[in-house]
Structure 1
Amino acid sequence: MPLELLPTQDARAYDEVVARLPVTSALQGWGYGEARRELGQVPTRYFIQDQGQIVGALQLIRKRLVPGFDLLYAPRGPVLSSMAQLPDLAPALRKLARPTDTLIKIEPPFARTPELIPEQIGPWRRTEAEQPEHTITVNLMRPPAELLSNLHSMARRNVKTAQKFGVEVVSGGEELFEEFWTIFTATNERAQLGAFPKPYYLTMLRSGASGGGDAYIVLARHDGRALAGGFFLAMGAITNYLFGGSIKDDRPAEGSGAEGAERKDAKAPTAFYWGAMQDAQQRGYRSFDFWGIPRKLDEGKHSFGVYRMKENFGGEKVWFPGYELPLSPLAPLIVRGLRWRKTQNNLRKRGSAEDVL
């Protein structure tokens, strides 16, 4: 039976549904949609109803593709009681679409291994997701000692080294943002990754924790300076490491007696990851999503080192597939054009046609 979509302006009631259902993501939370407004995109939220009962939630972002053609996009959504409901959602989405809406793209948040990802779910066809499809997740429902023992031996050594050097891991909100921003922008410049304007991240930090979700920052400091850090968005049982990075401690070594002598590596990035996992446990989250590893491993890419670092923390590799529902006969042509534009942008910025992840 087709499902119904009921529009809502009640942020708290909407987030309560997003937080409690099993097939869910923080990117379907109200706060993430408010951040998208900073990019000129328009979020609309709906309760999904089945015979009068709320069985899901959906945040659709309307994005302009080219003049006269829009995309309806559900980042890591929709939120559902069961994936079996997904085919029945298509008729309701077709009804609410405008004449300018060319395509609906969804990213149902059900983790799978590659061989278990269906190419088609009812009318939905497999497509490239906008969010990172490949990631590593760690089950936090284990004692800290067991989590530590599950780390790669090198990561465990680096955790001990960081502790020996007195690296401090702290978490909080907007009061930590400027330290995070310094690290984040330096990392993006070094790796030629690019970023959205600053208000996008500030809005997500403020709005992400205002309803039923959570948004926070974790930093690893050595001798008072933040050297690694990340931005987290959480909902329900899962926290997601969305943005972050690290910088080199270029301060001279203290008490070395040699002018210009470098400090020893305090292993702040490892301390950050381990501290963020411990902090997530203390906040009550049951799963930690590292948010993105490369589709193809290439030792020459910045993302390869990031992948190796994340892999050291003993998680499980999973995939979050994307699906699409064309609304116009021009949809395939527009999708190919957008893919070409993205490839050209990658070539101009990084000298490679491949995406970052």
Structure 2
Amino acid sequence: MVRLALEPTTDPHAYDDVVRSLPITSALQGWAYGEARRVLGFEPARYLVRRDGRAVGALQLLRRPLAPGLSYLYAPRGPALEDINLLADVASAIKRVARPTDVKVLIEPPLARPAHLIPDALGPWRRAQAEQPEHTIVTSLVPSEDELFANLHSMVRRNVRTAQKYGVTAGRDEDFEAFWDVFTATNERAKLGAFPRAYYETMLREGAAHGGEAYLVLARHEGRALAGGFFLAMGGATNYLFGGSIKDDRATPDGSERKDVKAPTAFYWHAMLDAKRRGYTSFDFWGIPRTLSGDKHSFGVYKMKENFGGEKVWFPGYDLALSPLASALTRVQRWRKDQNNFRKRGTTQDVL
């Protein structure tokens, strides 16, 4: 077994340089995401993963207290690695830096896989439920713009043209208040819940400070933002983390109902074009339901994302027990999540 060393670092630029350069990586392993999670009570620790003095990975571990004297470690969409086969020795390296209070560690290797290629174990790591959406749709931005357009569902192509006809504009936008209005209205309508506003503001501020990007895309009609999203990007990929859409309820001069100008379609399409033009090669739509059912409230969101021509993939989670209490901790975490879901939406099922 190759022995790896975890070298702590407090240099955000040096750390993000490594995260950005690795072939198996994610913006959620970037410095900015850890700073945003600090707002929620997590304590981020960043390490360069070294073998014979050379950086072969980067690891952002978020530590969260669960009870007096107990905590767990979490690597969101991580670790970032040169080779997925290094995971076994990463486990040993984490054990050497873990605190006695750390009960378990959860990782989410950022290597997209088709459903039939999800192993139950990766060395000492055992399959577990990830915190981030495991199921998602990823679209390659390598084809030309004409090829991307041709790969859209016919209805999406029609809606893109309809939005253009009605004068919908979409692109990067610095109006956080407009995004926040769309986002919060969507969460209230769908009973999704949200983190405190400071979480998103921190990620937006920090995301562009050390080598990655955090940005907003809004689709507007007659000046009003009707759809939009929050993106976190690093390396070759951009990730659509949060967003939504609202109905245009402004009065018309003659009192008639406003036409559907297809702002959500314009948002997605122009977000893809923006990412491609800025050199990104992968667009992660970030989350579709685990079980496809016509009565699942997020099914419409899934169909919208599917129609943009991407590939359905999984980003599975894996955990490693650091204490005999790990199994009990996992059950408590699941119970808390079920209770939170039931309180917000009247069901213990996860949204995605």
Please tell me the residue identity of whatever aligns with 2:126. Answer: R
- 2:151 equivalent to 1:159: no
Identity level (%): 66
C-alpha separation in 1, matches of 2:252 and 2:292: 36
Distance apart, 1:2 and its partner CA:
1.8
C-alpha separation in 2, matches of 1:66 and 1:307: 36
**Which of 305, 310, 331 matches 1:315?**
310
SS at match of 1:54: strand
Q: TM-score, normalised by structure 1?
A: 0.97
**Which of 304, 322, 333 matches 2:299?**
304
Instruction: Map Cα deviations across residues 83-105 of structure 1 (whole Å, 9 max, x no partner).
Output: 01110111110011111100000
- 2:63 equivalent to 1:65: no
C-alpha separation in 1, matches of 2:343 and 2:231: 30
Q: What residue is the counterpart of 1:4 in the other structure?
A: 5
C-alpha separation in 1, matches of 2:67 and 2:301: 34
C-alpha separation in 1, matches of 2:285 and 2:247: 22
Query: Which 10-residue stretch deviates more, 64-73 or 119-128?
Result: 64-73
Please tell me the residue identity of whatever aligns with 1:12. Answer: H
- Give the 5 Å matches for 1:96-115: 96-115=97-116
Query: Which 10-residue stretch deviates more, 67-76 or 219-228?
Result: 67-76
Please tell me the residue identity of whatever aligns with 1:95. Answer: R
Q: What residue is the counterpart of 2:119 in the other structure?
A: 118
Distance apart, 1:270 and its partner CA:
0.2
Instruction: Map Cα deviations across residues 290-324 of structure 1 (whole Å, 9 max, x no partner).
Output: 00000011222321010000001000000001000
Instruction: Map Cα deviations across residues 33-78 of structure 1 (whole Å, 9 max, x no partner).
Output: 1111111111010000011111010000001223321111000000
CA RMSD after TM alignment? 0.9
Q: What residue is the counterpart of 2:260 in the other structure?
A: 265
Please tell me the residue identity of whatever aligns with 2:21. Answer: R
- Give the 5 Å matches for 1:64-83: 64-83=65-84
Deviating 4+ runs (over 3 angstroms): none
- Give the 5 Å matches for 1:9-48: 9-48=10-49
Q: May I ask how many residue pairs the two structures share in their alignment?
A: 351
C-alpha separation in 2, matches of 1:16 and 1:108: 19
**Which of 294, 313, 335 matches 2:330?**
335
Q: What residue is the counterpart of 2:285 in the other structure?
A: 290
- Residues 298 and 304, structure 1, Cα contact 8 Å, conserved in 2: yes
C-alpha separation in 1, matches of 2:294 and 2:215: 31
Q: What residue is the counterpart of 1:95 in the other structure?
A: 96
- Give the 5 Å matches for 1:124-273: 124-172=125-173, 175-254=174-253, 257=254, 259=255, 261-273=256-268
Distance apart, 1:349 and its partner CA:
1.5
C-alpha separation in 2, matches of 1:76 and 1:292: 13
C-alpha separation in 2, matches of 1:302 and 1:216: 27
SS at match of 1:288: strand
Uncovered stretches (5+) of structure 2, i.e. residues with no partner: none
Distance apart, 1:346 and its partner CA:
1.2
- Residues 251 and 262, structure 1, Cα contact 8 Å, conserved in 2: no
C-alpha separation in 2, matches of 1:200 and 1:299: 33
SS at match of 1:274: helix
Please tell me the residue identity of whatever aligns with 2:36. Answer: A
Please tell me the residue identity of whatever aligns with 2:327. Answer: P
C-alpha separation in 1, matches of 2:237 and 2:124: 29
C-alpha separation in 2, matches of 1:129 and 1:304: 20
